[in-house]
Structure 1
């Protein structure tokens, strides 16, 4: 694994309110956003920040319904994920295997995503969620 964080995603209650806060209030430069999109990206120096509905982020990470109490509920999910983007789908699989071998827990096996990429999730020893992703914009 080439150690880097390429994206921090905050699970939020309202993407529009978060956009107003980060873009309008703090002046974060925002990537173009399609009307009605449920995610917003801010290009920061050194990394990206994304805001995304908390329930959808929990679902994407394979956590389950954040409003229900269950072993995989949001009670262990902080609403924050760290992303490590790689250049190929094979690298996604390799990094997930590396994380598991180091004692991490695979939460979501690597799979094709609704947004056209390929990703999976693991948690570290303290339960922090990491997404390992091949976004098509990097080109394979």
Structure 2
């Protein structure tokens, strides 16, 4: 597994208010029709997502996400890479929260928690292919 974080998703109880905060910092939003408010960073993207939708995607009750909920995303080049990385995470002591599956927006994802409970998403996003160096951009490179 290459060392990278592709997408940091923060579960937002008030998505508009949280977005206003990042807007006020001078961050520029990236168009996203799927309910995520996204900001491209240097080498990563920060996403703000309604906490209820985040819990639904992971397959857990909202209450288990706690305060300040987020997922760390590791994007892969191919859909077939998602399940093996989940297996590797489980073998290393992680816990599978949701196995690899196709998701409504056209990608393929799965979730695991590290031994401390930090939640990771392993994702293939066909709309945001990784650059040759593995870097991620919300709408892909090009």
Specify if TM > 0.5: yes
Rounded Cα–Cα distance in structure 1 between residues aligned with 2:116 and 2:68: 12
Q: Deviations over 1:18-37 (max 9, x none)?
A: 221112x1011210244xx5
> Is there any run of 5+ residues in structure 1 with no aligned partner, and where?
68-72
Q: Which residue of 2 aligns with 1:12?
A: 12
The count of residues paired between Structure 1 and Structure 2 equals 129
Q: What residue is the counterpart of 1:29 in the other structure?
A: 28
Query: Please, which runs of 5 or more residues in structure 2 have no aligned partner?
Result: 131-142
Q: Stretches of 4+ moved more than 2 A in 1?
A: none
Out of 73, 77, 102, the position equivalent to 1:112 is 102
Considering only aligned residues, what root-mean-square deviation do their CA atoms show, in Å? 1.7
Aligned to 1:84, which of 64, 74, 90?
A: 74
Q: Counterpart of 2:65?
A: 74
Q: Distance in 2 between matches of 1:95 and 1:33?
A: 27
Distance 1:81 1:47 in 2: 13
User: Are the equivalent residues in 1 in contact too, given 2:10–2:68 (CA < 8 A)?
Assistant: no
**TM-score computed with the length of structure 1 as normaliser:** 0.85
| Aligned equivalents of 1:117, 1:133: Cα separation in 2 | 7
1:127 corresponds in structure 2 to 117
Is residue 57–residue 79 contact of structure 1 (8 Å, CA) maintained in 2?
Answer: no
Mapped contact 2:76–2:122 kept (Cα < 8 A): yes
Instruction: Tell me the distance in 2 between the aligned counterparts of 1:96 and 1:51.
Output: 24
TM-score, normalised by the number of residues in structure 2: 0.84
User: What is the CA–CA distance in structure 1 between the aligned matches of 2:72 and 2:78, rounded to whole Å?
Assistant: 18
**Is residue 58–residue 79 contact of structure 1 (8 Å, CA) maintained in 2?**
no
